[in-house]
Amino acid sequence: MAKRITKIVLTGGPAAGKTTLVSRVLKEFKQEDGWRVITIPETATELISGFGIKPFDNCMSMLQFQDFVVADQIHKEKLALDAAQLVPEDNILILYDRALMDDKAYVSDEEFAQVIARFDGRTEERVLANDDEFRAVLASFGKTEEEILAGYDAVLHLVSCAKGAEFAYDLGNNARTESIEFAREMDDRTLRAWSAHPNLRIIDNDANFNNKIERALREIYLKGFEIAVSEGNPLCVMTSYNRLNGRYSPENADLINGILRGEWGYSGLVISDWGSRSEIYRDILAGSNIHMPFTQPEHLCKALEQGLITREMLVENAKQIMRFILKLD
């Protein structure tokens, strides 16, 4: 079986919740369920805490520091992909605690172009002035900016709590050296650095921090399905056999009417897995069309008599099935 590797970048401003999210992902995606999670720690933090290399305290300039960050980041990202091929699991989730484009948030576009250029053996003196020239340097390095972005399946930008949840921004924490104003600025700059990614999701703040983490987890869980629906444009989708949050999948309105049809705009047919134990009238209410392998007509008639569903719902469901048949004819 071919490896299924999903690459997700976690980014955002300071004090955004990335560390907590990584911990939750490691608990949710378990090896006993066939998953291997490979995490790439934040490179800048490793260099500062582990090597004593830092862009302050008269150690070096931010531009010099980015040389180290980019070199280490490229190396670690390659190692992660190599490791994904070696581990026994087929389902691989690579989590990047910041990735290559994050470095662009800490220097100017021109300076970032210098850093990338040096990895192509070019001279340190070359300064690029605009986005067109920046792309030219990336191309000579073997990568366009678009190709770098395309190397990641999704980017989750967790907004710093300095923007909307200031009460949680702990200036008493010795590890938190940035002011609220600086944290806001870096959040904006980081978002700009990743703004061209087609699967960028912004996870803003919530009065309840756990809700923020749950929304981020939702994006990780659903990303593969969303890509399959949006890019594959299937005529038919089959729901799973199991329950989710206490509901069998065919009768789960949040999944079908809420996400599949509502958020993703899917207009095709939805059928249950074979031998589904869901209740057929609940399937219809949730947005399902066909209950496999049979339709339990007596259950439908009873639900109709009790007013649990309407004749209009049944007619619309029949129309949807006929439209599907005509597309296949």
- Looking at 35-39, 101-105, 224-228, which range is the least confident one? 224-228
- SS3 of residue 233 by DSSP: coil
Q: What percent of the chain has pLDDT over 70?
A: 89
- SS3 of residue 57 by DSSP: coil
Q: What percent of the chain has pLDDT over 90?
A: 56
Residues with Cβ within 8 Å of residue 54, at least 6 apart in sequence: 47, 48, 60, 65
- Looking at 126-130, 147-151, 282-286, which range is the least confident one? 126-130
pLDDT at 122 > cutoff 60: no
Per-chain mean pLDDT for the chain? 86
pLDDT confidence of residue 132 = 57
**Is there a contact between 293 and 274 (Cβ–Cβ < 8 Å)?**
yes
- Looking at 102-106, 140-144, 205-209, which range is the least confident one? 140-144
Instruction: Kindly state the helix (H) or strand (E) to which residue 248 belongs, with its residue range.
Output: strand 247-248
Query: CA 191 to CA 207: how far, in whole Å?
Result: 22
Could you report the per-residue pLDDT of 187-220, keeping only the tens digit for each? 999 999 999 999 999 999 987 899 999 999 999 9
Residue 11 binned pLDDT confidence (cut-offs 50, 70, 90)? very high
Q: What is the dihedral of CA 216, 217, 218, 223, to 10 degrees?
A: 90
300-308 average pLDDT score = 93
* CB crowding 35-66: b at 16 or more within 10 Å, else e: bbbbebebbbebbbeeeebbbeeeeeeebebb
Closest to 21 in 3D by CA, of 128, 95, 120: 95
- SS3 of residue 96 by DSSP: strand
Q: Which residue has the higher pLDDT, 16 or 56?
A: 16
Query: CA 63 to CA 65: how far, in whole Å?
Result: 5
pLDDT confidence of residue 129 = 36
pLDDT at 274 > cutoff 80: yes
pLDDT confidence of residue 316 = 93
Closest to 247 in 3D by CA, of 216, 207, 288, 214: 288
Q: Which residue has the higher pLDDT, 168 or 258?
A: 258
Residue 296 binned pLDDT confidence (cut-offs 50, 70, 90)? confident
Task: Kindly report the number of other CB atoms within 10 A of residue 189's CB atom.
Answer: 15
pLDDT confidence of residue 85 = 94
Instruction: Note the Cα 152 to chain centre separation in Å.
Output: 9
Q: Which residue has the higher pLDDT, 56 or 281?
A: 281
